[in-house]
Structure 1
């Protein structure tokens, strides 16, 4: 009887949820503890989980050893710009797919999904050559435009599922009242699809914030580096200052964590509704 109760569906769900939560939070908690330790305490045996004498000096060193604040500013500008442009272009594309009588619509959606499956490393050389030809290397646009292209498939697919769920009668009523189709999109469809817009925006922002390969290859000058590339520079040829690196990682995690915490309900609702409607 006990075995049946333990392996029941609710217990399995709780166990699966606990595994997911542990897998998601444990690395971040471990990085936080590491950022509060000294290098001596970090290598001592047996391993201490909680820092014996928590110190904030590693955070001060993280900002002194590298221009972390400048890297943070670059990441904010690049991620925000890429997110805004991704949502703008994806809204037009999703509306066209959801509302216009396009031939072979399913094929278009299949191509959008397929385009997101190419490994980024295979696109690196063409993107680099394009940005060099345009003279945009070591600029914000060198990262913003490629990030828009990379974010478009997921943003478009999320918005298509939401736009399809909005009754056409609402748009027709707005156009009868004198609104253009473009006006109906921005004043009727987009506000009603707000959960989907927030979901797509958060996904685009996080993807742009975390990206490393293009940021390393396209913006190599010190003034144009983003946060992931800047954090990688704390590592020396023979030294690995893990407490300082961990402090910098916490600084990189905090903005995304705050953003997700603020819009948590909308993001969760958007993912759930998008899954049901798609």
Structure 2
């Protein structure tokens, strides 16, 4: 029996739909829970019986300080992304183009540094930052975040630069460009998809960071959004504001979703660059 052409790809579509549903289910439940009334927060219905925005109003209550926490997250994630991307671009280009002894070992050590658990370095960093007066500062969150995002960025961009033929720089230098000008005017524009994809990965990692921000700050005005969510207070001392936490989680996730949707073409281009010649 011949299977109609329109049904041949049905298993693939079903599999993709199942994966998408599995990935989006937690976000959907978070969104639905954020729209429930406090009295209905433990309801198991897939659609809230009565849509309420009281949780979102509670999130933006001045006593929670969530708006300022969002600004702190934006500053930390933005500066971390800019610095890590700047350092990683030059480092990755040098690792891709220069030939020297132990280069493979150095690359291995670079990526290995990002494999240490965050909890293993928090205590030493806390002691160090206390001694130099960095507690409750932006740099106490930015510098540790870079220690994890920078190795990943270097490794990713090194692989990307290796895909680009050296003849590009050589042709530019024949036309009168210096090595630096060839890098700035030829390589960087062509590497834009890979650089942009790396920037998105770094930003998401820094935006979602929790343990370092929790350990390095004890003042409410310096807390990031992830830390602020964990410290939301309910109506009483022993009340956990699940609805407010869900609403805040939605607000923290939405910027990332919008960013990925707006720049999905560049992200896909960066992830697939070099897959085909």
Task: Give the TM-score taking structure 1 as reference length.
Answer: 0.90
Higher mean displacement: 184-193 or 233-242:
233-242
Please state whether the residue corresponding to 1:43 is helix, strand or coil.
coil
Please state whether the residue corresponding to 2:60 is helix, strand or coil.
helix
Alpha-carbon distance in structure 2 between the residues aligned to 1:130 and 1:71: 24
| Superposition RMSD in Å | 2.2
Please state whether the residue corresponding to 1:229 is helix, strand or coil.
helix
Report the equivalent of 2:212: 214
Alpha-carbon distance in structure 2 between the residues aligned to 1:181 and 1:42: 61
Report the equivalent of 1:42: 41
Alpha-carbon distance in structure 1 between the residues aligned to 2:38 and 2:48: 11
Please state whether the residue corresponding to 2:36 is helix, strand or coil.
coil
Report the equivalent of 1:22: 21
Structure 2, unmatched stretches of 5+, are none
Alpha-carbon distance in structure 1 between the residues aligned to 2:129 and 2:175: 45
- What count of residue pairs does the alignment treat as equivalent? 271
Report the equivalent of 1:180: 178
Alignment of 1:150-169 (within 5 A): 150-169=148-167
Alpha-carbon distance in structure 1 between the residues aligned to 2:73 and 2:246: 18
For the 8 Å contact 2:65–2:220, the answer to whether it is kept is no
Alpha-carbon distance in structure 2 between the residues aligned to 1:252 and 1:60: 15
Give the direction of change, closer, same or farther, for the CA distance of 1:174–1:134 in structure 2 (3 Å limit).
farther
Alignment of 1:98-113 (within 5 A): 98-113=96-111
The offset of 1:17, in angstroms, is 2.1
Alignment of 1:134-149 (within 5 A): 134-149=132-147
Report the equivalent of 2:126: 128
Report the equivalent of 1:272: 272
The offset of 1:12, in angstroms, is 5.0
The offset of 1:244, in angstroms, is 1.2
Give the direction of change, closer, same or farther, for the CA distance of 1:85–1:50 in structure 2 (3 Å limit).
same
Higher helix share: 1
Report the equivalent of 2:67: 69
For the 8 Å contact 2:92–2:154, the answer to whether it is kept is yes
Alpha-carbon distance in structure 2 between the residues aligned to 1:137 and 1:175: 48
Report the equivalent of 2:257: 257
Alpha-carbon distance in structure 1 between the residues aligned to 2:142 and 2:71: 14
Alpha-carbon distance in structure 1 between the residues aligned to 2:180 and 2:221: 39
The offset of 1:146, in angstroms, is 1.4
Per-residue Cα deviation, 1:223-265 (whole angstroms, up to 9, x for no partner): 1100000000114552121111111111101111111111111
Structure 1, unmatched stretches of 5+, are none
Report the equivalent of 2:202: 204
Alpha-carbon distance in structure 1 between the residues aligned to 2:122 and 2:27: 30
Alpha-carbon distance in structure 2 between the residues aligned to 1:111 and 1:264: 31
Give the direction of change, closer, same or farther, for the CA distance of 1:9–1:118 in structure 2 (3 Å limit).
farther
